[in-house]
Amino acid sequence: MPSSPFSPPPLLVFDLDGTLVDSLDDLTAVLNRLPARAGLPALDADIVRPMVGDGVGALVARAMTHDGRVATPTDVTDYLAIYGAATAVRTRPFEGIPDMLEACARRGWRLAVCTNKPHAAARTLLESLGLRAYFAAIGGGDSFTSRKPAPGHLVATIAAAEGALGRAVMIGDHHNDIAAAAAAHVPSIFASWGYGTAAMGAAADAVATRVADLPEHAARLLGA
Ligand SMILES: O=C(O)COP(=O)(O)O
Ligand SMILES: [Mg+2]
C-alpha cells in the first residue's frame, strides 16, 4: 500500500544481534579479553550464545557467573571500551540481509532497529557494515528509560522512526523481542536463524526460517 500524508508507511523494526547480524564471535572474543577473565578458561561461542539478548550488563554477568565469579561495574565498563573498538571484526550481516533490506526499502517501507545493545555500539556496527543508512532510527538498550522485553523500548523506537504502532512489525530472534511486541500490540516475526530457541518463537505471529521470507510475512501482518 503506498504511503500518503494520512497514513505513515509500514515500519519494520529489527532486532540486531542474532537477527540482522551474526555477532557471536565478536561478543565471545570481547568477553574473553576482559581483564576480570584473565586466567579463566576461554569461553566458547556455544556457551555465549544463550547469554546474549538481555543487554551488556546481563551478558557480562553471565560470563562471570559461568566460572563462579561475580561481575563488577568495572567489568561492564571494560567490556564497553573493548567492544566499542571491535564491533565488526568478524561480525557480518546474516546471508541475504542486505538484499532483504534493499527490497523492503524499495517497497517504500521504513526500517528501524530496536536492540538491547548500547546505542553507540549498534550505530558503529551498522556504519561499519554499510547498513546504517537503511534505518530511520536506532533504539539502543540505553536509548530510553526501558529496554526489551519492556514494550516502551519498542514504542519509543517506533516514535523515533516516525512510524505508527498500528503500521509496525517487530522482527527478532529472542523471547524479549516477541514479548515486547506482544505487550505493545505490535505483530511479531521470529527469526529462527538467530540465537534464540525454537520455544522462544512460539508466541510470535509468524516464524521466518529464511531471511528472504521476511518481506512476505511482514506484508501479510501489515495488510500491505
Ligand atoms: O546486547 C544484547 O543483549 C543483544 O542485543 P539484541 O537486542 O540486538 O539481540
Ligand atoms: Mg537478538
Complex ipTM more than 0.90, yes or no: yes
pLDDT digits (tens, 9 = 90+) for 94-151: 999 999 999 999 999 999 999 999 999 999 999 999 999 999 999 999 999 999 999 9
What average pLDDT does the segment 163-191 reach? Answer: 98
**pLDDT score of 1 more than 90:** no
Q: Which of 54, 84, 114 is the last residue of a domain?
A: 84
Contact 6, 75 (CB under 8 A): no
C-alpha cell at 159: 516514535
What average pLDDT does the segment 36-63 reach? Answer: 97
If one counts every other C-beta atom within 10 angstroms of the C-beta of residue 122, the result is: 27
pLDDT at residue 208 in the model: 98
Q: Domain check: are 63 and 99 in the same one?
A: no
| CA–CA separation, 74 and 80 (whole Å) | 10
| CA–CA separation, 203 and 118 (whole Å) | 26
| CA–CA separation, 72 and 222 (whole Å) | 44
**pLDDT score of 5 more than 90:** no
Rounded to the nearest angstrom, the distance between the alpha carbon of 6 and the centre of ligand 2 is: 33
Give how many domains the chain has, as a whole number.
2
Question: Parallel, antiparallel, or unpaired: how do β-strands 92-93 and 21-22 relate?
Answer: antiparallel
Q: Domain check: are 73 and 119 in the same one?
A: no
Rounded to the nearest angstrom, the distance between the alpha carbon of 177 and the centre of ligand 1 is: 9
Residues 6 or more apart whose CB falls under 8 angstroms from that of 145 comprise 152
In ligand 1, which atom is closest to the CA atom of 113? 8
Q: Is 24 in the pocket of ligand 1 (CB under 6 A)?
A: no
What average pLDDT does the segment 157-169 reach? Answer: 97
In a domain, 194, yes or no: yes
| CA–CA separation, 18 and 192 (whole Å) | 9
**pLDDT score of 4 more than 70:** no
Q: Domain check: are 78 and 136 in the same one?
A: no
If one counts every other C-beta atom within 10 angstroms of the C-beta of residue 42, the result is: 11
Q: Is 53 in the pocket of ligand 1 (CB under 6 A)?
A: yes
Q: What is the DSSP letter of 50?
A: G
Q: Domain check: are 96 and 48 in the same one?
A: no
| CA–CA separation, 79 and 177 (whole Å) | 23
**pLDDT score of 2 more than 60:** no
CATH number for 60:
1.10.150
Taking 3-state DSSP, the helix, strand and coil percentages for the chain, each rounded to the nearest 5, stand at 45, 15, 40
Which structural domain, as residue segments, surrounds residue 119?
Answer: 11-22+92-222
In a domain, 6, yes or no: no
pLDDT digits (tens, 9 = 90+) for 59-97: 999 999 999 999 999 999 999 999 999 999 999 999 999
pLDDT at residue 13 in the model: 98
Q: Domain check: are 41 and 139 in the same one?
A: no
pTM: 0.96
Residues, Cβ < 5 Å to ion ligand 2: 15, 17-18, 173-174
Please list the active-site residues. 15
CATH number for 120:
3.40.50.1000
Q: Domain check: are 175 and 161 in the same one?
A: yes
User: Is the peptide bond between 149 and the residue preceding it cis, with omega within 30 degrees of 0?
Assistant: yes
In a domain, 78, yes or no: yes
Angstrom distances, CA of residue 22 to CA of 25, 49, 129, 194, 224: 8, 11, 12, 8, 29
What average pLDDT does the segment 7-20 reach? Answer: 95
